[in-house]
Amino acid sequence: MKNTVYRITGFLGLALLATIQDARAQEPVLASIPFQFTAGQMTLPAGEYKVQRMNDDSSALLVRSTDGNEATIVMTFAASVNAPQTQTKLIFHRYGNHYFLAQVWTAGSTRGRALTKSAKEKEQALGARNEKPDRVTIVARLIPPKP
């Protein structure tokens, strides 16, 4: 009987942890990006950007400048790693002086979002003779939900 109670408690704990990770992965992030970059099909200037899911069960991300002048919607797919992330961050692929938003990760979560390579990025990769791009990480911060 005790073993059954321990198992049920363990499963409930794991389910709660997964729910918390999913909720954190949904939170918007804010990052100051010091270079021009491409997200999906749109090239955006350097500046401060908020990145968030369109809604809880959407794979689309809204990337919007905090001044409201620039915005784009990009399609993403789920990405995962074995260990929880230590920082909230945006990862870019760099080919020469061209930067492409590639991934969005939230601290404490093993789940993130990855963007598919756009036609522009594929073109840059060909120009780089299919060498692996440099990975540039920009640390971001979570925007806490409003009560």
pLDDT at residue 69 tops 50: yes
**Which residue, 6, 66, 3, is CA-closest to 30?**
66
Question: Which carries the bigger pLDDT value, residue 69 or residue 17?
Answer: 69
Residue 102 lies in a domain: yes
Residue 57 lies in a domain: yes
Residue 52 lies in a domain: yes
Place of tokens 């059954």: 4
**Which residue, 7, 13, 58, 49, is CA-closest to 140?**
49
Cα 111 from chain centroid (whole Å): 9
Asked if 51 contacts 63 with a C-beta cutoff of 8 angstroms, the reply is yes
Residue 82 lies in a domain: yes
Expressed as residue numbers, the domain containing 105 is 2-142
Q: Any idea what the Cα angle at residue 141 is, between residues 135 and 142, rounded to 5°? A: 120
Asked if 60 contacts 26 with a C-beta cutoff of 8 angstroms, the reply is no
Question: In which band, very low, low, confident or very high, does the pLDDT at 128 lie, cut at 50, 70 and 90?
Answer: confident
Q: What would the mean pLDDT of 90-97 be, rounded to a whole number?
A: 96
Summarised one tens digit per residue, pLDDT across range 104-114 is: 999 999 999 99
Residue 126 lies in a domain: yes
Residue 54 lies in a domain: yes
Residue 147 lies in a domain: no
Cα 112 to Cα 91: distance, rounded to the nearest angstrom: 11
Domain total of the chain: 1
Note the pTM of the prediction, 2 decimals: 0.80
